[in-house]
Amino acid sequence: MRVPKVTLRNQRVSDAKRFFQILSNPNFIYFPAKPKSIEDEEIFLRQNKQKRKNKTEFNYAIIYKKTLVGAIGIRIDQFRPYIGELGYFVDEKYWGKGIALEAVKLAEKIGFGKLGLKRIEIMMIRKNKASENVAAKCGYKKEGIVRKKLLLSNQYCDGYLYAKVIS
């Protein structure tokens, strides 16, 4: 399979409309963030600069063929700042092209390299087989089930925890 050319860039407030469009897709059922409006998404995006400054979150737009197709972020555990959690989403039109896989690899380089993390975790709803496949293909190891840890559509759901560690 040919590897897609994927790049990451810092998210911008001007990305709000596109992110809202992607996240509002009714087939987009496994990602918990559902902004109620473009304005809500703009509010979230305006917080990114402070989150970077505080070293709590590092959020990126996923670019494929010069098109914004999704997002990926690293949330730093504030009690264990050597641990980060990856979260990501890709527009349905681009599913199955290896884009999430490449975005995870790029974000991982930032996490382990620039941010000095020792452990990166990915959690997903148990039914999200695509995300589970991405984690496994990127070399993350399944560590177990996290019970009632993820909130989706106002329901607490079980998920899988995958992680990768470096020495």
Average confidence score pLDDT of the chain: 93
Q: What's the full length of the chain, in residues?
A: 167
Q: In what order do the strands lie in the sheet with 119-125?
A: 6-10, 57-64, 67-76, 83-90, 119-125, 155-165, 141-152
**Tell me: the pLDDT tens digits for 49-92?**
999 999 999 999 999 999 999 999 999 999 999 999 999 999 99
Q: What is the H or E stretch that residue 53 is in?
A: helix 48-53
**Tell me: the pLDDT tens digits for 102-137?**
999 999 999 999 999 999 999 999 989 999 999 999
CATH of domain 6-165: 3.40.630.30
pLDDT of residue 155: 86
**Tell me: the pLDDT tens digits for 30-45?**
777 788 999 999 999 9
The Cβ of residue 159 has, within 10 Å, a number of other Cβ atoms equal to: 24
Confidence of residue 3 (pLDDT cuts 50, 70, 90): low
Confidence of residue 97 (pLDDT cuts 50, 70, 90): very high
pLDDT of residue 2: 59
Q: Is 48 helix (H, G, I), strand (E, B) or coil?
A: helix
Domain ranges of the chain: 6-165
Looking at the predicted structure, is the pLDDT value of residue 1 above 80? no
Return the exposure string of 13-50: e unless at least 16 CB atoms fall within 10 Å of the residue's CB, then b.
eebbebbbebbeeeebebbeeebeeeeebbebbeebee
CA atoms of 66 and 83, how far apart (whole Å): 31
pLDDT of residue 154: 82
Pairing of strands 119-125, 83-90: parallel
Q: CB-based burial of residue 117 (10 Å sphere; 0-12 exposed, 13-18 middle, 19+ buried)?
A: buried
